[in-house]
Amino acid sequence: MSGADRTIAYQPALDGLRAVAVGLVLVFHGGFAWMSGGYVGVSVFFTLSGYLITSLLLVEHDRTGRIDLGRFYARRMKRLLPASLLCLGAVAVAAAAGAFDEFDGLRRDLLGALFQVANWVKLLDDASYADLTNATLGRVAPLEHYWSLAIEEQFYWVWPLVLLGVFRVASSARSIGRWIVGMTMVGAAAAPLVAITWGPDAAYWATPARIGEILVGAWLASVLHRRGTEVRRPSTARALAALAPAGLVVVLWAALTWPAAEGPAYEGWLPAFALASAAVVLGLQYPSPVRTALSWRPIVWTGTISYGLYLYHWPLFAVLTSDRVGVDGWALFGVRLAVTFAVAALSSALVEQPVRRWNPTWSRPLVAGGVATLALAVVVVVGVRPADTFSADANAGGVATIVPVDGTLPPLEVVDGPTATGATGEADATPSTRPPTDTSTDTTSAPADTGSDDTGSDDTGSDDTGSDGIDETDGGSVVLDPEPVPVPALSRPVRILTIGDSTSEATAVGFASWAIDHPDLAQVTDASVAGCGFVRGGVVPTDGDIDWQGPCDELLDVRLPESVAQLQPDVLVLMVTMRDVEDRIWSDAEGPLDPFDPRFRERLLADYRQLAERLAELDVPRVAWVLAPHPIAAFAGEQRKMLDLDRYRVQFDVIREVAAGDPDRIRVIDLQGWLDSIGRFRDGSLRPDGLHWTPDAARWVVDRYLAGSVVTAAVS
């Protein structure tokens, strides 16, 4: 509810509290690691909404003896629908024009947001690992934030009806308060119960798990409604006023220290945290320096447009990437804030406030809202085109896939002739090979160190790029379009089989597209399974109730040997990113282990060696083991520890150690090092979600580096 609803006394400091809450969320979504718990700003919103809505309903019931449901719902629609529909309509139009093609599931997200069930869409959708990653690890899809609006809107629909029932059975303000206290206790108890029985994602997204935070605000409203805020002693007023700074300290402490993808928020502790938010609200009822500060006009104004700031910031952040804007870090955040504030202010002045001041009979806005909703639904369902997928076979259309043969294949040999990049070595001028970036950006080109090692040039089987696989910087100068690694002419098409997780799937899209354009050079089939690495056994705590181990065991024990037997690949490309370096529990006695624990490394090495031995038994001629680029900041919404560079150093060291044990078969392809050497590692246009290539980016990476490196590995 907005401070503009004047049926209860307006308190500017509460709008100031809104400004603080939305500020925490904006900084958190800005990708700053030090604000790992900034999502608690949403919890502050929940508690404040529960307080204001319940206060409004209690005052109305006292004044009239009833609750005008039609008027209440019309007021809520006039407050929430205009900006929400405007935002959804803008995203739908942009999506229909192709602005968000890299995001799968956008149509589903639009419908979930439209019908106020976005949080349940997240929980109940049987999505791929890529979708799960997007949901839990902060992929910058434009409507990720509507889950919290859905929870509030569900509360708005139900709570007046619940209070009507309470008013029928409760005869006094005290008994009404007892009912609300009881419901608050049930809501608070539901949160940890949901976390235990349904898992951490549900503890964060499910309405029963989050309703307790809203009900804490409702409980405070019932207490203040019955007792008022007047106190007899100044010392009591000072003590109550001190709750505001004390509560703010707790809120800021949680915002700065709580982890993004685990910890209290995912264990059912948010209703307890809501007590800190309630303490701030209670403290702001009394004069204090904090109330004065939060009543400062610029802060109050920010609070009055906080709904628009929250609503518009996420799709704007998705569009205003570092690649498009040309800056990053604080400069990028400043640009995003400026645009978000401008859009929210215009929306408030031109759309939201005029609609809220419009005051015909309540049925007319309901009809208007229904018509607008129906119209937008048609736009969403018909107009939004599906996103590109990670499926290599879907992109290949059967043209690039490996053709099974009977008997023995002729030898794969290098012959004299033109290469895939032309006899002169010049890159193709087709759009598919151009770098997916804004070339108007002012950058300095420099020759690229492609790391095109001869792949088997030393006794370890590793490359000789000189890179340790990871550099925290972007290397030196940015090379927008580096020279491609040469692809030798071959006696027959090389047969490439890719296997790994969703990042391998995304890369296979590029291989398939490249093979379609060069059928004389390659045939490609992808056998990857999203969410599957090469580590066996154990449980990844962040998986919740999802069982990945069964499909992953089937991949390595059934799908891999069958694919090798049927397709007879010349080279098998292995690629896994974060899956094999996530914390894992192999036994209750040990508890969760991370890659820095020697016991974790021992198991990682044992499983990788077992895979290498299995490939030798299957007589795979060559293995190209890719050092995959680790996630970047765009991926940091929820699980920031997976950005720790040292996790991937452990994995890369193990891969090199395994390669050293079979130097005639295994080649190490340092994709991470190559991206870093050309300054494109942190390029958001290549991996908008911070982890997976777009189809165009996958093709570009294959054209420029992987095709030449993998084919060279196959014939070396």
The pLDDT score that the predictor gives to residue 214 is 97
Q: Model confidence at 477, in pLDDT bands (50, 70, 90)?
A: very low
Alpha helices by DSSP H, listed for 570-644, are 598-617
Q: Helix and strand tally (H, E) in the chain?
A: 29, 7
Is the pLDDT assigned to residue 124 strictly greater than 70? yes
From CA 59, how far away is CA 226, in angstroms rounded? 11
**Per-residue pLDDT tens for 53-72?**
999 999 999 888 899 999 99
On the 0-12 / 13-18 / 19+ scale of CB atoms within 10 A, 75 is buried
From CA 344, how far away is CA 227, in angstroms rounded? 37
Alpha helices by DSSP H, listed for 242-352, are 243-257, 270-283, 289-294, 297-304, 306-319, 322-325, 329-347
Q: What percent of the chain has pLDDT over 90?
A: 47
**Phi and psi at residue 524, to the nearest 5°:** -130, 135
Query: Which of 657 and 685 is assigned the larger pLDDT?
Result: 657
From CA 128, how far away is CA 504, in angstroms rounded? 14
- For residues 360 and 494, the answer to whether their CB atoms sit within 8 Å is no
From CA 31, how far away is CA 328, in angstroms rounded? 11
Q: Model confidence at 173, in pLDDT bands (50, 70, 90)?
A: confident
- For residues 315 and 106, the answer to whether their CB atoms sit within 8 Å is no
Task: Name residues whose C-beta falls within 8 Å of residue 82's C-beta, 6 or more positions apart in sequence.
Answer: 351, 352, 355
Q: Model confidence at 695, in pLDDT bands (50, 70, 90)?
A: confident
3-state secondary structure of 547: coil
From CA 103, how far away is CA 372, in angstroms rounded? 25
Look at strands 592-593 and 584-585 and give their pairing: antiparallel
**Per-residue pLDDT tens for 91-104?**
988 888 777 766 66
The pLDDT score that the predictor gives to residue 626 is 95
- For residues 324 and 279, the answer to whether their CB atoms sit within 8 Å is no
The pLDDT score that the predictor gives to residue 135 is 36
Is the pLDDT assigned to residue 531 strictly greater than 50? yes
Burial of 87-99, coded b for 16+ CB within 10 Å and e otherwise, reads bbbbbbebbeeeb
Token pair 């292995």 in the structure block, residue: 574
Q: Which of 633, 690, 682 is nearest to 33 (CA)?
A: 633
Is the pLDDT assigned to residue 30 strictly greater than 90? no
- For residues 611 and 556, the answer to whether their CB atoms sit within 8 Å is yes
Highest mean pLDDT: which of 311-325, 588-602, 686-700?
588-602
Q: Model confidence at 410, in pLDDT bands (50, 70, 90)?
A: confident
3-state secondary structure of 498: strand
Q: Which of 113, 178, 173, 181 is nearest to 147 (CA)?
A: 113
Domains of the chain: 12-383 (no CATH), 469-715 (3.40.50.1110)
Chain centroid, CA 249 distance in Å:
28
The pLDDT score that the predictor gives to residue 102 is 61
DSSP per residue, 656-688? HHHHHTSTTTEEEE-HHHHHHHTT-TT-TTT-T
From CA 642, how far away is CA 654, in angstroms rounded? 18
The pLDDT score that the predictor gives to residue 691 is 84
499: enclosing H helix or E strand: strand 494-500
The pLDDT score that the predictor gives to residue 263 is 84
Q: Which of 578, 469, 584 is nearest to 533 (CA)?
A: 578
Q: Model confidence at 627, in pLDDT bands (50, 70, 90)?
A: very high
Q: Model confidence at 545, in pLDDT bands (50, 70, 90)?
A: low
Q: Which of 490, 558, 483 is nearest to 523 (CA)?
A: 490
**Per-residue pLDDT tens for 370-387?**
445 445 544 444 444 443
Highest mean pLDDT: which of 26-30, 279-283, 513-517?
279-283
Cα Dmax for the chain: 97
- For residues 95 and 192, the answer to whether their CB atoms sit within 8 Å is no
Q: Model confidence at 572, in pLDDT bands (50, 70, 90)?
A: very high
The 3-class SS string of 230-274 reads CCCCHHHHHHHHCHHHHHHHHHHHHHHHCCCCCCHHHCCCHHHHH
On the 0-12 / 13-18 / 19+ scale of CB atoms within 10 A, 362 is middle
